[in-house]
């Protein structure tokens, strides 16, 4: 399984598409954790990150746990995300790997 490289100039739609093709599961991207509003697909990750977030790059592999990935996205980019099942019908469990989430 390939790794996914994420950077601030990636659009929300691009991230979701790459995430799904790499791991097989869906990704929900929100503007803030408080209001749970979905981020616009044409927005870049840098444009929606929380104030004070450092940005940069992040490379993740399929063996990373769902909960750890969600925390890393918040720490690195200041973006709130949730991993969901391949059909996006429910959220993936935090204690399974990204690869396993793509098989639910």
Q: Compute the half-sphere exposure of residue 69: CA atoms within 13 Å on the CB side of its CA.
A: 31
Q: What is the rounded CA–CA span in Å between residue 46 and residue 64?
A: 23
State phi, psi for 91 to the nearest 5 degrees.
-75, 145
User: Six-digit token pair at 1?
Assistant: 């399984």
Q: What is the pLDDT of residues 27-69, one digit of tens each?
A: 999 987 666 789 999 999 999 887 777 778 999 999 999 999 9
Mean pLDDT of 6-30: 96
- Angle among Cα 91, 94, 96 to the nearest 5 degrees reads 100
89: number of Cβ within 10 Å: 9
Write the CA distances from 8 to 40, 85, 98, 104, integer angstroms. Answer: 15, 24, 21, 29
By C-alpha distance, which of 94, 91, 75, 95 is closest to 25?
Answer: 91
This prediction's pTM: 0.92
């Amino acid at each position: 399984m390939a790794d996914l490289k994420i950077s601030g100039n990636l659009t929300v739609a691009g991230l979701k598409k790459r995430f799904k093709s790499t791991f097989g599961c869906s990704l929900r991207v929100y503007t803030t954790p408080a209001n749970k509003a979905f981020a616009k697909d044409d927005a870049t990750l840098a444009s929606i990150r929380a104030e004070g977030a450092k940005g940069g790059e992040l490379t993740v592999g399929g063996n990373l746990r769902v909960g750890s990935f969600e925390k890393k996205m918040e720490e690195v980019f200041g973006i709130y995300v949730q991993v969901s099942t391949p059909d996006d019908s429910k959220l993936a469990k935090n204690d399974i790997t990204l690869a396993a989430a793509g098989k639910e």
